[in-house]
């Protein structure tokens, strides 16, 4: 018996939702989001939990975590590990895929099949659940599940399922603010402000 995936064909309803979602988020001049990031094992046990904050402007972003800050101006990336007092400077690989609040709304345009799994009424309105599955089965993830507020067309949560272990990485938006004031220097690590930090150029 040959098992087939429900995601063999693109779901036009899911595609419409995702296209509208992408259009909305791309329409912002910038946005800022705070979120919870939880790692769960395949039994649902929480292995790690932390809060994060991200500032996004087009392809530029600044990601702030308790122990690491990442700056990206669209061409280069600075990863500042505070404990080691080092910042690694690298050139961005356009083929490298990292799922963050900066790009989660565009994933359906990057080699994924997708289907609308459900529309369920919750305490805050109707929640749409869309599953995205990579066409490339060699990817490290098997599925991404998006939970979307239908009335506001906003991403509430997404869950990344790891291949092999079925461990889950859960991102839940706590607060979202569109069109916040930004400047280009927000997305570049300023060595002058942190003279104690060693810059490691890996370009």
Residues facing 199 on adjacent strands: 87
φ/ψ (deg, to 5) at 186: -65, -20
- Stated as kind and residue range, the H or E segment containing 33 is strand 31-40
**How far apart are alpha carbons 147 and 68 in whole angstroms?**
27
- Summarised one tens digit per residue, pLDDT across range 35-82 is 999 999 988 899 999 999 999 998 899 999 999 999 999 899 999 998
| Integer CA distances (angstroms), 74 to 30, 31, 55, 134, 136, in order | 14, 16, 13, 24, 25
Question: Closest Cα partner for 52 from 43, 61, 42?
Answer: 61
- Burial of residue 97 (CB within 10 Å: 0-12, 13-18, 19+) is middle
Whether 69 and 186 have beta carbons less than 8 Å apart is answered as no
- Summarised one tens digit per residue, pLDDT across range 116-145 is 999 999 777 899 999 999 888 888 889 999
**Does residue 100 surpass a pLDDT of 80?**
no
Q: Which domains does the chain have, with CATH numbers?
A: 12-201 (2.50.20.10)
Give this prediction's pTM: 0.84
φ/ψ (deg, to 5) at 26: -70, -20
């Amino acid at each position: 018996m040959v098992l087939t995936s429900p995601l063999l064909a693109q779901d036009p309803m899911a595609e419409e939702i995702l296209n509208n979602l992408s259009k909305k988020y791309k329409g912002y001049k910038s946005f800022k989001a705070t979120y919870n990031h939880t790692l769960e094992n395949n039994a649902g046990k929480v292995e790690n939990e932390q809060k994060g904050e991200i500032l996004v402007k087009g392809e530029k972003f600044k990601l702030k975590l308790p122990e690491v800050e990442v700056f990206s101006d669209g061409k280069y990336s600075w990863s500042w590990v505070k404990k080691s007092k080092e910042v690694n400077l690298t050139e961005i690989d356009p083929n490298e895929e990292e799922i963050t609040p900066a790009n989660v709304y565009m994933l359906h345009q990057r080699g994924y099949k997708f289907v609308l799994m459900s529309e369920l009424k919750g305490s805050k309105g109707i929640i749409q659940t869309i599953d995205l599955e990579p066409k490339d089965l060699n990817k490290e993830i098997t599925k991404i599940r998006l939970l979307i507020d239908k009335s506001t067309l906003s991403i509430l949560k997404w869950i990344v399922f790891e291949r092999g272990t079925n461990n889950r990485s859960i991102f839940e938006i706590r607060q979202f603010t569109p069109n916040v004031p930004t400047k280009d220097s927000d997305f570049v690590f300023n060595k002058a402000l942190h003279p104690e930090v060693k810059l490691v150029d890996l370009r």
